[in-house]
Structure 1
Amino acid sequence: MKTFTYKFSQDQLALLPTESDIAFYEEHGWFISKKVIPDEIIDEAIAGSENFYRGERDATLPYSTGYSDWKPGDGDAVRNNQHVSYRKKELRKLVLQPIVGAIAAKLARTTEIRLFEDTLVYKAPITISDRGGVVGWHTDYSYSSNCTSKKMLSAWIPFQDIDENKAPLVVLDGSHKWSDTEHLRCFNNQNLKEIEEKFTQKGREIVEVPIILKKGQVSFHHCCTIHGSYPNCSNSVRLAFALYLQDYANRHQPFWNNKEQIHHFLDSMCRKLPNGNPDYSDPAIFPILWSAEDRY
């Protein structure tokens, strides 16, 4: 297991969530950090993203299907590319910023945070006559039913300032406490109101919270928090990196849907445990971002 030697300065320690912040996250299902990522790290990630879109790779995945991987000609309303940190060093450098894992560990009250998967998301500006650009309501856990833990969480890192016109991430406040949402897979459903009506009919109060961030801030949300995003109505591209994070206790579990066993794409890439199950702690695929061996 990797042993960390990173030690935070007093200024960095001040960036970690307080007990009050953690209580807010546990009640509402989301949290916004202070500015924690240096501009130069984000600027490197932007350059790496641009090179990635031009076809440059530092490593390649062994399979070409089973995950989202935008290619030129697919349209620009929303570009989704998964597992980019595996393929581009500048994005991996961003993922491995110790502060991201440390904040996530505090929020999840866990001794270790590992990457599960990542998604680079690009949204082109749209006009009122355009269609698309919406990410529909979903929970991240819906797409990871092979995971045992419901303490997993996501970090959302924009590469520029985000206001309500620039396709902010939007969460439904407190929705991580709702039942019957663990299979909410409506990422590609553009009609947010249509999905909301189903929640309203169950008597739930719908409180949409657009996550407004400055460059260098990071938002975190619980794996069962319902979220999506609005179209990009600004005059420039919106680029962001979404990291889905495991807590220490997360392990693989078999999962069936309509009598068909479901396998996650990464199950075929990571090493196997003695019982044959995928090892979700394989550092080659699921690097440790923070552990109790790190020193605050």
Structure 2
Amino acid sequence: MSHPQPDFKLTEDEKALLPTDEEVRDYAEHGWYLSRKLFTDDEIDMLTAASDRFYAGHRDRTLPVRPPRLAYWTPGDGDVQRHHDYVHYEDDRIAAILRKPLIGAVAARLAQAEEIRVFQATMIYKPPRPDEPSNVVPWHFDKHYWATCSSQRMLTAFVPFHDCGDEMGTITMIDGSHRWRETGGRDSATRHFAERDRCELEAMLEENARHNGAEVLKVPMRIPRGHVSFHHCRTYHGSGANVSGWPRRAISLHLQDGANTYVRHELSDGSEVVYNHDVLVRRTADGRPDYADPVFCPTLWAAGPDD
């Protein structure tokens, strides 16, 4: 799999869509940012059509091996919330839209980074079933599951395919939680939220808030079509039931700054944490998984001399 080298130059109209200095400061304080309209209606229509084709069985390629903790819905799982990791690898049409340099440029402004690469892309389908337990995503932050990443500046772009508000169970942030000092040890939350009791994670959130003398302020992201919600890798977030009568469809595009590398992380029992990439990506000269592998972690944005 190869991609043409992208042109990282933005048009003047695109530059006007970047976060302002004040918005970058707000992101640093609050841990989340709601963008201007970054995708055109045509691009969102193409994403929707490509996802329909994906759900019908189309793949441009499949993963060479199945990672140990892959999120990958199949029809046999039933009418539950669907997650498909590595959609940016398996579907070229989806990848082409997600690789829009403007998305990387916005992330670079927020993260104060010179380069932004894809880390993971997960397509999500939340069916309109108010009582379906899988539709409720409990409180967590993404860095819990990225213990093998050296960076503390990673972030996620949440890209809905439609207007996305409270009734659809939109993504909801815990304001300022990325600045909390976390309680617990190195094992505290490396298991995925789907493998844990929701009440346990709610209690973990409350305990961390108390420990930091902070209020649990929940901020639902009301996202117009074509706009994108960004959040810091340590921002607690979750989502509620979809009571809208329509499926909630989106992609969580997880992003890494160019300085991010693999670091070994051991649990207290001596076992080693393994991220799904670690069985897929190429190796560095010293034998570590290479999180700059362009096949699985392509570059979205690299600043030029004039940026």
- The equivalent residue for 1:213 is 223
Instruction: State the partner residue of 1:275.
Output: 286
The yes-or-no answer on 1:246 pairing with 2:256 is yes
The answer as to 2:178 corresponding to 1:172 is no
| Deviations 1:20-76, CA, capped at 9 Å, x for gaps | 010000000000100110111111111111111122100110123421100002133
Structure 2: tracts of 5 or more residues without a match: none
CA separation of 1:270/1:294 partners in 2, compared to 1, >3 Å: closer, same or farther?
A: farther
Give the 3 Å change call, closer, same or farther, for CA 294–158 of structure 1 in structure 2.
Answer: farther
Correspondence for 1:85: 88
Q: Is contact 1:77–1:125 with CA below 8 Å preserved after alignment?
A: no
Decide whether aligned partners of structure 1 residues 100 and 295 sit closer, same or farther in structure 2, where only a CA change above 3 A counts: farther
Q: CA deviation at 1:201?
A: 4.4
Aligned CA-pair RMSD: 2.0
Q: Which residue of 1 aligns with 2:296?
A: 285
Pairs within 5 Å for 1:92-103 = 92-103=95-106
Question: Are 1:234 and 2:244 counterparts?
Answer: yes
Residue 134 of structure 1 corresponds to which residue in structure 2?
A: 136
Provide the aligned length of Structure 1 versus Structure 2. Answer: 295
Shift of 1:292: 1.1
d(CA) in 1 for partners of 2:96 and 2:167?
A: 29
> Which residue identity lines up with residue 97 of structure 2 in the other structure?
L
* Letter matched to residue 269 of structure 1: L
Q: For each residue in 1:99-153, what CA deviation from the matched residue of structure 2 results, as whole angstroms up to 9, or x when unmatched?
A: 11000000001100000111111100124x5444101111111111000000011
Q: Match for 1:263 among 274, 292, 295?
A: 274
Equivalent residues of 1:132, 1:190 under 8 A apart:
no
TM-score for both structures, normalised by structure 2: 0.90
CA shift for structure 1 position 6: 3.9
SS of the equivalent of 1:136 reads strand
Q: Which runs of 4+ in 1 moved over 6 A?
A: none
Between 5-14 and 79-88, the greater mean CA deviation after superposition: 5-14
2:148 corresponds to: 146
1:200, distance to aligned residue in structure 2 (A): 4.9
Counterpart in 1 of 2:110?
107
Which residue number corresponds to residue 193 of structure 2?
187
Change (3 A) 1:4 1:236: closer
Shift of 1:195: 4.7
The alpha-carbon distance between structure 1 residues 186 and 3, as it changes in their structure 2 partners (threshold 3 A), is: closer
CA shift, 1:293, in A, is 3.1
The offset of 1:190, in angstroms, is: 4.1
Structure 1: 5+ residue stretches without partners: none
Deviation at 1:213, TM superposition (A): 0.5
| Amino acid corresponding to residue 82 of structure 1 in structure 2 | D
Of 25, 28, 33 in structure 2, the residue corresponding to residue 26 of structure 1 is 28
Contact kept? 2:180, 2:208, Cα under 8 Å: no
State the identity as a percent.
38
- Secondary structure at the aligned position of 2:168 is classed as coil
SS of 1:156's equivalent in the other structure is strand
- Is the CA contact 1:8–1:295 (under 8 Å) kept in the aligned structure 2? no
- Distance (Å, rounded) in 2 between the aligned partners of 1:110 and 1:99: 14
Q: Which has the higher helix share?
A: 2
Is the contact made by 1:3 and 1:294 (CA closer than 8 Å) also made in structure 2? no
Shift of 1:193: 4.8
Match of 2:73 among 70, 74, 84: 70
Q: Which amino acid aligns with 1:244?
A: H
